[in-house]
């Protein structure tokens, strides 16, 4: 595990009623994130399953938690940018926490230009001292 790891929460967004597509997109993105030198990529859960059910916990579709060295944040953002550009109607929210510092951005390719995203990544990196 990295020293002083950063925690990122990534959320893929789709319109309601597209849960199967959202699950598939999230799995695809998760596989690509795992190919980076990250410490871990975990599903986000929403607590325990109701009593009387066999499930261990309830996984939140469209979300993942990533633990990584702060130096891996720029390559991760480049991956996210590339991934979203390949799926132009799929916005992504990213919340980053390093120690007590946090930042959140939402990248919607229908509203954000590639130049805007580049500026966001640089600003985020500076604000978190990546």
Model pLDDT, residue 22:
85
Q: Mean pLDDT highest for which of 22-26, 105-109, 124-128? A: 22-26
pLDDT by residue (tens digit) across 55-101? 545 577 888 889 988 888 888 888 887 887 787 777 777 777 666 77
Question: DSSP letter string over 19-77?
Answer: HHHHHHHHHHHHHHHHTSS-SEEEEEEEEEPPTT-S-SEEEEEEEEEEEE-GGGHHHHH
Answer yes or no: is pLDDT of 130 > 50.
Answer: no
Per-residue exposure over 74-86, b if at least 16 CB sit within 10 Å of its own CB, e if not: eebbebbbebbee
| Of 2-11, 12-21, 118-127, minimum mean pLDDT range | 118-127
What is the C-alpha to C-alpha distance for residues 34 and 29, in angstroms, rounded to an integer? 9
Model pLDDT, residue 40:
94
pTM to 2 decimal places: 0.72
């Amino acid at each position: 595990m990295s020293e002083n790891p950063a925690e990122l929460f990534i959320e893929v967004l789709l319109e309601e009623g597209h849960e199967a597509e959202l699950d598939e997109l999230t799995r695809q993105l998760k596989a690509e994130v795992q190919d980076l030198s990250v410490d871990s990529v975990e599903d986000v859960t929403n607590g325990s399953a109701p009593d009387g059910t066999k499930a261990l916990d309830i996984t939140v579709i469209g979300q993942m938690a990533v633990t990584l060295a702060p130096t891996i944040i720029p390559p991760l953002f480049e991956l996210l940018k590339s991934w979203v550009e390949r799926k132009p109607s799929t916005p992504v929210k990213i919340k980053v926490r390093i120690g007590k510092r946090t930042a959140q951005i939402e990248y919607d390719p229908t509203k954000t230009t590639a130049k805007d995203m580049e500026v966001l990544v640089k600003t985020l990196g500076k604000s978190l001292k990546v």
